[in-house]
Amino acid sequence: MDTVIKENVLAVTRRGQSAVEATNFFRVALGLHYLAALMTNEAIDFKKVDRDYNRFIYQSIGRGHTITSVLQFMSGAKLVPVLESKRFLSSFAEHCPEVPVDSIPFLLSLNLSVAKKISGIDIAGPVLDWIERQKLPEAGAPVPRDVL
């Protein structure tokens, strides 16, 4: 994660109209960058990557937050209002073009899939419902439940 990405995430964060909304914008913008960075054929040193993300999180929004808690937030019901916020989506599209807005459903599906494998719990809920309401650009159809 370079300085430009950090500045872009913070620009999205500043679009929040309250401390809670700004924190949620930060979590989602950063989480989407993290998930997008996983889409590589190169080996990933997760200890180093997570340490870098955790340092940035601590410096930006303080203690009590980690990349793990960001990813957990991104699989819960509080994520949906952020995804449905025109302010978040337009700001994310403007400041974070390296993660296309139309890739968000796929990235969230990836996050839910990993969460399911780790925890073994059912992933049905508001986030999966939101993903299913979105159209995948390549297929033009909702994400089927059995894909996750």
Q: How many domains does the chain have?
A: 1
The average confidence (pLDDT) of the chain is 88
Q: What is the pLDDT of residue 92?
A: 97
* Spatial distance between the Cα atoms of 101 and 70, rounded to a whole number of angstroms: 18
Exposure string for 126-138, b = 16+ CB within 10 A, e = fewer: ebbebbeebebee
The gap from C-alpha 52 to its chain's centroid, in whole angstroms, comes to: 16
Question: What residues make up the domain containing 29?
Answer: 3-147
The pLDDT, as a whole number, for residue 122 is 76
Residue 70 has pLDDT above 80, yes or no: yes
Are residues 26 and 5 in contact, defined by beta-carbon separation less than 8 angstroms?
no
The dihedral of CA 49, 56, 102, 116: what is its sign? Answer: positive
49-66 average pLDDT score: 93
Residue 140 has pLDDT above 60, yes or no: no
